[in-house]
Amino acid sequence: RMQSSRSKPCSCPSLKLREVASMYLTMVAAFLVILVVALQGSAPRESHFPYKVPLDPQGLLELSWNVSYPEQAVHFQLLARELRSGLLFGMSDRGEFENADVAVLWSDGHSSYFGDAWSDAKGQLHMDSQQDYQLLGARWAPEGLYLLFRRAFSTCDPKDYLIEDGTVHLIYGILEKPVHSLQAINISALHGGLQRVQLLKPNISIPELPSDMKTMEITAPDVVIPSQETTYWCYMAELPEGFPKHHIIMYEPVVTAGNEALVHHMEVFQCAAEFDSFPHYNGPCDSKMKPDRLNYCRHVLAAWAMGAQAFYYPEEAGLAFGGPGSSRYLRLEIHYHNPLVLKGRRDSSGIRLFYTATLRPYDAGIMELGLVYSPVMAIPPGEDSFTLTGYCTDKCTQLALPSAGIRIFASQLHTHLAGREVVTVLSRDGRERQVVNADRHYSPHFQEIRMLKEVVAVFPGDELITTCTYNTEDRSRATVGGFGILEEMCVNYVHYYPQSQLELCKSAVDPGYLHRYFNLVNRFNDEEICMCPQVSVPQQFYSIPWNSFNREVLKSLYGFAPISVHCNKSSALRFP
């Protein structure tokens, strides 16, 4: 036990398996001042937590962390402002409070306790027999209580969450009243929620930046954030007249102080060069007032999502902008997430580009992998895990890539609302060689450009295979591929150098084989379904009765039928 709330955390022997650390407690106003014993290891210094994210919309809980690849562990620092009777922090498959792996700090009104727990399918909490959230210490500061704890990536405990690359769904809850035991905590009654982050950040050395580097801020012009839960805000900016070619070599977020919990993600797009001018616009992206021409601003220059740091290009390459053949017009898009429906908040967030006139050896390029935006690829309704695969084939890379190959250094995965997992692998000579990017807990609500842990070399004749997994349990009719939010996509935008002419390398099932599938369904089906050529593919999918036979045959068709490959140049012309 410790005597002073400001003393440093002491070090004690590690606790027995089922034991929980008991903590001294005093009341200060309405808040608890909690002193915690240190368990195993020593706490990293505060400056050693480079990643930070607010957990709740009010910013009462703020998480910072670092990643140790040698130790295969994450160190967490959780700041709790206005702490009452404790808190809950953890991870689950998709942000549910059921079947979750949690660390709990709770008070019974006399003493306080910290422990590693898990919740069952009904949301009931149980103390874990293997304590893998290791408490390292705590300190009280003017802004609140800092809790420090550690968790290994993999614990070999079946009740624990496996921390892996890609998105992690963090859950949090605030205890308003003391409880007599861990089991007495009612998860469903907690003031809580979820936050998505990429916990395992790549350990990349920051390249040296040139002395002639300049910055440009593309930011919202002091907009009033609408008082609704979700807003996509669009703002048009333009480069100076006669702006010559430069290389973007890094970018970082600019988030208005106080809005850290509201600014969910941001992207800067460059407009199509074939239009001489674009109208000015500053307003919601889905407004009827938005000029249609803004839909031609789709070339991504920068993308940031909550919890992401600055993005650096490799020292050999930069993203070209400005100069002949490049549009002066840029579109900033900001996703505001305002679940508390706050009114009157002003915002000037955006992205700061760092660029240089001293061009690097290579232009960076962006290539689309995955599935063609076509209704021929569909997902039946009521599926908990349905996979679709898009191929960038050996024939296409043989024809379109330079003989020395390309180097992929970053990737942005993309699906619409039914997407649950996205994986791209590199295959050479018919064998899978390397995972390019995998997100086993992918969320369509958290799409950022992620630097890869290691650069992936792709040579002519290699294949890039992208597989997306979907969940349509909440849908009553088939989900077809397309641009609509209730239609689906399966895309990996890979960032690479040197830039080649290949901008899109994707596939879809051969339409002739899909037509044979519709004929087969018709022959085996009791009711007549109109499978006539004049009926559109989506309409044919919508009219299928989804029994197990029709589902399984569609799965098999996608697995074996020939594919139609799109191997496109940036001018949208196909390679021969």
414 is catalytic: yes
Spatial distance between the Cα atoms of 202 and 206, rounded to a whole number of angstroms:
11
Q: Which amino acid is at 380?
A: P
Q: Which amino acid is at 315?
A: E
| CA–CA–CA angle 89, 94, 95 (5° rounding) | 30
Spatial distance between the Cα atoms of 86 and 109, rounded to a whole number of angstroms:
11
- Ordered DSSP codes for 367-434: EEEEE-S-TTSEE-TT-SSEEEEEEE-HHHHHHHS-TT-EEEEEEEEE--TTEEEEEEEEEETTEEEE
Q: Which residue out of 51, 232, 296, 513 is catalytically annotated? A: 232
Closest CA to 558 of 506, 488, 508, 491: 508
Q: Which amino acid is at 61?
A: L
Q: Which residue out of 414, 445, 513, 542 is catalytically annotated? A: 414
What counts of helices (H) and strands (E) characterise the chain?
4, 39
493 is catalytic: no
**Structure tokens belonging to residue 53:** 């994210």
Torsion angle in degrees (nearest 10) through CA of 155, 159, 160, 164: 100
Q: Confirm if 130 and 19 have CB atoms less than 8 A apart.
A: no
Name the DSSP class of 38: B
For 350, residues 6+ apart whose C-beta sits below 8 A from its C-beta are 217, 218, 219, 220, 253, 254, 266, 268, 332, 334
CA 388 from centroid of its chain's CA atoms: 20
Q: Give φ, ψ of 295 to 5 degrees.
A: -70, -15
3-class DSSP state of 514? helix
List the catalytic residues. Answer: 232, 414
